[in-house]
């Protein structure tokens, strides 16, 4: 009888050990782009926690702050369009060079005191981030093809965990009275170490064109790229809305302090990391379309709970549910697109999907700012929930129909 009781525990321990080894092996395989994902998460997590302080430092209204972030989004989308050229010129140096550029650019928002200067600083920071984003997603897709393993959710999970840790630490630093420029500079020190990892990781060639007798997959039709990009757009818009405005919502509407406000984006980042690690397992049992639809509906529920909660605890729960749901939507869309095309088309396809997807940063900041200005932040988060519901209702069915002939 005792042996029977111990057997399920032993089996569970064995499965957990195997899963740990598998994750460790996957991290080793993709350690170059994984370090780049961590660097990007480090800066955007810090920015999310510092958003109330940066807004006060620049003297901007809700609408003005949203407009400044919109200008920054212009830099990101323009950079993504040009990212394939940057990657072609820099080659294996692309990720380390772009990571250093990211560290330098993010010093600027912490040093600005006026609205125009802040908008230009965000233009530079978002441009550096956008270029690195395309390159690191394409590199992960390349490794996926070479290793025949799903790695996109894992790398996006690393971004989320780095984001959560940075948001929490930046919130504590803000509570201690540290200036944004100081906190961004500290993030730069960590980025130097991550840059060494991106440079030391070996290049992997997936060999999709190595066999001359193999028929190379054609580039995806524009409609498929547009629908995949629209799904990424809504996912990133929802993430960005919570990153940039959750701390403001908690501090303004629920009387949270600086550290309590920073818990909003930190909870989002933590639960997104957990959700993306879970996505590694879900990929073995469910189709990407079904997961994207269910996850978007869950995220919409979380946004509504966070928007209309009367106290901090249920608001944190809402942001946690939002993070779990939205976490897998963009990585699965990127992973699906990357697997449909050959190596020589991959950077171009992911660049174009990224341009459409990151247009969420065009729509998100002004939408959140103007809706918050006119109707309050709860209504702004409600608008995000409605956008998320369009993924299972409209976009995933349309993507299935458009991709079916191929």
pLDDT values of the chain reduced to their tens digit, one per residue, 406 residues: 444 444 555 665 666 676 677 778 888 888 889 999 999 999 988 998 888 889 989 988 888 887 888 788 777 778 877 777 888 888 888 899 999 999 999 999 999 988 899 999 999 998 899 889 888 988 888 887 777 777 888 888 888 889 888 988 998 898 888 999 999 999 999 999 999 888 776 666 554 444 444 434 446 677 888 888 889 999 988 887 777 788 888 888 888 887 788 788 788 878 888 888 887 667 666 777 788 889 999 999 999 999 999 999 999 999 999 989 998 898 888 877 777 666 667 777 777 787 788 777 667 766 777 888 888 889 989 999 999 999 999 998 888 777 655 4
pLDDT at residue 263, rounded to an integer: 82
Helices (H), 91-221: 94-105, 107-111, 115-147, 152-175, 180-200
Tell me the C-alpha distance between 296 and 88, whole Å: 35
Domain that holds residue 329: 30-203+218-403
Any domain includes 48: yes
Specify the CATH number for the domain of residue 272. Answer: 1.20.1250.20
Closest Cα to residue 358, out of 75, 51, 50, 164? 75
Tell me if 15 is assigned to some domain.
no
Q: Does 1 reside within a domain?
A: no
Instruction: Judge whether 382 lies within some domain.
Output: yes
Q: Is residue 12 part of a domain?
A: no
Tokens of 317: 């729960």
Distance separating alpha carbons of residues 311 and 145, to the nearest angstrom: 46
Cα-based torsion angle of the residue sequence 320, 275, 269, 163 in order, rounded to the nearest 10 degrees: 180
In a domain, 22, yes or no: no
Instruction: Report the number of distinct structural domains present in the chain.
Output: 1
18 found inside a domain: no
Assigned domain for 90 exists: yes
């Amino acid at each position: 009888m005792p042996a029977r009781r111990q057997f399920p525990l032993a089996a569970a321990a064995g499965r957990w050990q195997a899963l740990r080894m598998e994750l460790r092996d996957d991290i080793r395989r993709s350690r170059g782009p994984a370090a780049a994902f961590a660097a990007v998460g480090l800066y955007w997590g810090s920015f999310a926690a510092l958003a109330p302080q940066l807004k006060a430092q620049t003297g901007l209204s809700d609408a003005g702050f949203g407009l400044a972030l919109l200008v920054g989004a212009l830099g990101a989308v323009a950079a993504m369009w040009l990212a394939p050229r940057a990657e072609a010129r820099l080659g294996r140096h692309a990720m380390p060079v772009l990571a250093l550029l990211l560290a330098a650019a993010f010093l600027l928002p912490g040093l600005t005191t006026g609205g125009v200067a802040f908008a230009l600083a965000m233009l530079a920071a978002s441009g550096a981030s956008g270029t690195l984003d395309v390159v690191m997603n394409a590199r992960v897709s390349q490794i996926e093809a070479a290793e025949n393993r799903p790695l996109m959710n894992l790398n996006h999970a690393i971004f989320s965990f780095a984001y959560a840790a940075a948001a929490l630490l930046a919130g504590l630093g803000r509570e201690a009275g540290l200036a944004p420029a100081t906190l961004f500079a500290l993030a730069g020190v960590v980025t130097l170490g991550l840059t060494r990892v991106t440079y030391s990781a070996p290049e992997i060639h997936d060999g999709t064109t190595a066999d001359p007798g193999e028929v190379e997959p054609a580039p995806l039709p524009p409609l498929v790229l547009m629908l995949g990009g629209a799904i990424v757009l809504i996912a990133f818009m929802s993430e960005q809305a919570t990153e940039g405005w959750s701390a403001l919502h908690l501090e303004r509407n629920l009387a949270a302090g600086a550290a309590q406000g920073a818990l909003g984006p930190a909870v989002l980042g933590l639960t997104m990391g957990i959700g993306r690690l879970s996505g590694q397992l879900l990929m073995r049992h469910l189709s990407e379309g079904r997961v994207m639809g269910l996850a978007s509906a869950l995220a919409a529920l979380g946004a509504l709970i966070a928007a209309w909660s009367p106290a901090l605890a249920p608001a944190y729960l809402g942001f946690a549910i939002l993070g779990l749901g939205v976490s897998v939507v963009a990585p699965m869309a990127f992973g699906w697109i990357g697997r449909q095309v050959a190596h020589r088309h991959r950077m171009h396809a992911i660049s174009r999907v990224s341009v459409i997807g990151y247009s969420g940063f065009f729509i998100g900041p002004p939408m959140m700012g103007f809706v918050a200005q006119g109707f309050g932040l709860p209504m702004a988060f409600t608008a995000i929930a409605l956008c998320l519901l369009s993924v299972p209702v409209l976009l995933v069915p349309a993507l299935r129909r458009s991709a079916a002939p191929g």
